């Protein structure tokens, strides 16, 4: 089922997600609905907060025809990004390199807004999958950026928080219009 995507201004986007201790049938259904909602909106990632649930849960799916490259390492060995797609991240924890990389980003909760955001060049993520199995990978490029963006959501952090003052200022009216429409 396609769910409505929560827009900026809704307080749930500022809530830290609660840890998930068990994958119930409700969580399984939520994951299926989040994937369907994300694909329908042509997004590459979606956090539970964006469908109104403050949980440590996000989905990511990098399309095979993505113009922006992604890199993935499993057990230190470079691997095919598609081998772990679509990705369901439960209770993820990230370690981000000091080295940064700036690239363009958008967010389904901010329609029409975009900006250059500085993110770690590489990210290591530890999480649990739908079987609650502990998993780990390292990522760069678009996948690394998507992981950092989604894990920020799970902690109530939004991409406009990391936008340059100038870029945020230039889109101030558009951002305010989204906030007001959410009230």
**Binding site residues, Zn ion, CB under 5 A:** 107
Residue 147 beta carbon to Zn ion: minimum distance, rounded to whole angstroms: 12
Closest C-alpha among 37, 49, 46 to residue 11: 49
CA dihedral 88, 151, 138, 25 (to 10 degrees): -20
Beta carbon nearer to Zn ion, 23 or 154: 154
Residue 148 beta carbon to Zn ion: minimum distance, rounded to whole angstroms: 11
- 62: exposed, middle or buried (Cβ count in 10 Å: 0-12, 13-18, 19+): buried
Residue 79 beta carbon to Zn ion: minimum distance, rounded to whole angstroms: 25
**3-state SS, residue 111:** coil
- Tell me how many degrees the CA angle 71-75-78 measures, rounded to the nearest 5: 30
Q: How many C-beta atoms surround the C-beta of residue 163 within 10 A?
A: 21
Name the residue whose CB lies closest to Zn ion: 107
- 145: exposed, middle or buried (Cβ count in 10 Å: 0-12, 13-18, 19+): buried
Report the residue count for the chain: 183
Beta carbon nearer to Zn ion, 31 or 107: 107
Residue 46 beta carbon to Zn ion: minimum distance, rounded to whole angstroms: 8
Beta carbon nearer to Zn ion, 23 or 88: 88
Beta carbon nearer to Zn ion, 23 or 117: 117
């Amino acid at each position: 089922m396609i769910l409505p995507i929560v827009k900026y201004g809704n307080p749930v986007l500022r809530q830290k997600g609660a840890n998930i201790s068990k994958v119930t049938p409700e969580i399984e259904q939520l994951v299926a609905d989040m994937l369907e909602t994300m694909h329908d909106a042509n997004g590459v990632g979606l956090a539970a907060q964006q469908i109104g649930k403050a949980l440590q849960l996000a989905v990511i799916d990098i399309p095979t025809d993505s113009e922006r490259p992604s890199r993935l390492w499993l057990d230190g060995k470079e691997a095919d990004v598609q081998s772990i797609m679509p990705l369901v991240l439960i209770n993820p924890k990230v370690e981000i390199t000091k080295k940064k990389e700036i690239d363009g980003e958008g967010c389904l909760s901010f329609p029409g807004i975009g900006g250059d955001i500085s993110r770690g060049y590489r990210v290591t993520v530890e999480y649990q999958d739908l079987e609650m199995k502990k998993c780990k990978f390292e990522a760069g490029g678009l996948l690394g950026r998507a992981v950092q963006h989604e894990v920020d959501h799970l902690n109530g952090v939004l991409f406009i928080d990391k936008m340059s003052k100038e870029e945020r200022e230039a889109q101030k009216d558009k951002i305010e219009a989204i906030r007001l429409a959410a009230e």
